[in-house]
Structure 1
Amino acid sequence: MKLTEVDKRLLALHYVFPVPVNRLERLFMIDPNLEKIFDFKATEFASLLNIPIRKASRLQENLNTNTTVPYDTLYEQKNIIPIPFTNSQYPDSLKNLIDPPAVLYACGNPGLLHQRFKIAIIGSRKATAYSNEAMELIVPPLVESDVIIVSGLATGADTLAHKAAIKYGGKTIAVLGHGFFHLYPKENRLLADEIIKNHLLITEYPPYVKPEKWTFPMRNRIISGLSDAVIVTEAADKSGTMSTVEHALDHGKDIFAVPGPITSALSIGPNKLIEEGAKPIWNGFQVVETLIPDH
């Protein structure tokens, strides 16, 4: 992928200040091509980025120290494809977010970002056999309609969704809540390797960023932002799954939920969503008919 000089300067800035685009808006207004970022004083950074002067001083120092670092070449050596917000290959769907990632880092086939239909399948990290049974009914019709399955590579429902897409010959995108040098959970290493080889792994964090509690809720907005609709299998009433749904609702996405037994705590989330207007589903054809009516 061809990077412009603006792209390369954004990579340098993002490496030392990995924040979403909305945190950089005032900087872009003053310096739209980021030509002055290596010349700004700490006080200017503090004002433009709304950060404490001590943090602005560290930012200035780190930028000046790494002025000549060829980030694009270093990423290429690690088979990482950076897609800056300023690049034409950045997915339009993420630009609709309030806080789009300033850079997407990709491993695998970035062309999947631009395929027409993408659906998120999400649920509990403690997903039961019921989620697995649901995947068997929901995923095959989606794959047959060339829908890409998006999820978060977490244990439980995410893992089941990625594996089902692969099992039935479809494509999947996994969105990480950390940089590529710190894969989490570790037990999904083989799955991640398979996704890198034949599918797509993405994150908004530079490779060195470790997983933190706050990075996973941030990741959820990318999952919903990339997707045309969200399917919820099993989820507790208050969970990361439900935060992803909230992001999707904010952007007018269709929500589908798998109805579950009233005796299961993990069915409270989907059942409540159905009560609030989500479409109940028990097979993937229902999703296909809603999103691809002329298929």
Structure 2
Amino acid sequence: MKQYGVITIVDEVYPPVLKTIKDAPIVLYTFGDVDLLKQTPTLSVIGTRNPSVGAWETTSHIITPLIKENWVIISGMARGIDSFAHKLALLHHGRTIAVMGSGFQYVYPRENKKLFEAIAQHGLILSEYPPHIPPRPYQFPERNRIISGLSFGTLVIEAALRSGTLITVEQALDQGREVYAVPGSPPCLSKQKAATK
């Protein structure tokens, strides 16, 4: 089993693209293939934790060609679109990086334990939190700046009006990154929007 590693902002392996954001993490904990931090191009893929019926097909249609062209797919290992993005990268023997909002000893959500292990084996997992730190609500918005900061651009598949996805979009725009969105309004999200009005 691979061991946890630590890199700091002054280390050569620290990704240069992440150094350019105003609140770059001083320390990153690593689990997996650190060489992925040197590879480009990179795209973060984000979206709702409650995807529509067609979300897997949509995600696959858009990012599978990129995976096959050796793009590094970055996401947050959350339920829904994040998990879809990582699973598609693994399915097609591509490259993927997961950025966690907790330490490595606290996989969140717990149902993604096998996904965590697969990414650690075939990709890279990052966190700015030491391995023993459990998930706390404020840590997930903090980790989102790393997801967008590592990427050339951010792709939104589906997102509710009030969501962590849109926080990541704001951070990506603030960092001067490209942001892309799939047009349309899936039925499950349309109902959610109506309920908030």
**TM-score normalized with structure 2 length:** 0.92
Structure 1 residue 247, shift from structure 2 partner? 0.8
Residues 198-250 of structure 1: CA deviation (Å, up to 9, x unaligned): 10001000111110000000000000000001110110012100010111111
| Distance verdict in 2 for CA 1:140–1:161, change over 3 Å | same
1:135 maps to 59
Contact map agreement 1:120 1:230 (CA 8 A) in 2 = yes
Q: Per the alignment, in what secondary structure is the counterpart of residue 7 of structure 2?
A: strand
| Distance verdict in 2 for CA 1:104–1:186, change over 3 Å | same
What is the one-letter code of the residue matched to 1:149? I
Structure 1 residue 129, shift from structure 2 partner? 2.1
2:85 maps to 161
Contact map agreement 1:91 1:113 (CA 8 A) in 2 = yes
What is the one-letter code of the residue matched to 2:21? L
Instruction: Verify: 1:231 aligned to 2:155, yes or no.
Output: yes
Q: Per the alignment, in what secondary structure is the counterpart of residue 176 of structure 2?
A: coil
Among 175, 182, 185, the alignment partner of 1:258 is 182
1:114 maps to 38
**Higher Rg of the two aligned structures:** 1
Q: Which runs of 5+ in 2 are unaligned?
A: none
2:9 maps to 85
Taking the aligned partners of 2:110 and 2:11, their CA distance within structure 1 comes to 32
Taking the aligned partners of 1:147 and 1:86, their CA distance within structure 2 comes to 26
Structure 1 residue 137, shift from structure 2 partner? 0.4
Identity %: 42
Q: Which runs of 5+ in 1 are unaligned?
A: 1-76, 270-295
2:146 maps to 222
Segments ≥4 residues shifted beyond 2 Å: 261-269
Taking the aligned partners of 2:108 and 2:137, their CA distance within structure 1 comes to 12
C-alpha RMSD of the superposition: 1.9
Contact map agreement 1:261 1:267 (CA 8 A) in 2 = no
Structure 1 residue 265, shift from structure 2 partner? 2.4
**TM-score normalized with structure 1 length:** 0.62
Contact map agreement 1:178 1:211 (CA 8 A) in 2 = yes
Structure 1 residue 78, shift from structure 2 partner? 7.3
Among 102, 106, 110, the alignment partner of 1:182 is 106
Q: Per the alignment, in what secondary structure is the counterpart of residue 83 of structure 1?
A: strand
What is the one-letter code of the residue matched to 1:153? M
Contact map agreement 1:234 1:267 (CA 8 A) in 2 = no
Structure richer in helix, relative to its length: 1
1:212 maps to 136
Structure 1 residue 253, shift from structure 2 partner? 1.2
1:97 maps to 21
Residues 27-57 of structure 1: CA deviation (Å, up to 9, x unaligned): xxxxxxxxxxxxxxxxxxxxxxxxxxxxxxx
Structure 1 residue 262, shift from structure 2 partner? 6.8
Among 138, 153, 171, the alignment partner of 2:95 is 171
Among 169, 175, 178, the alignment partner of 1:245 is 169
Structure richer in strand, relative to its length: 2
Could you tell which deviates more after superposition, 139-148 or 188-197? 139-148
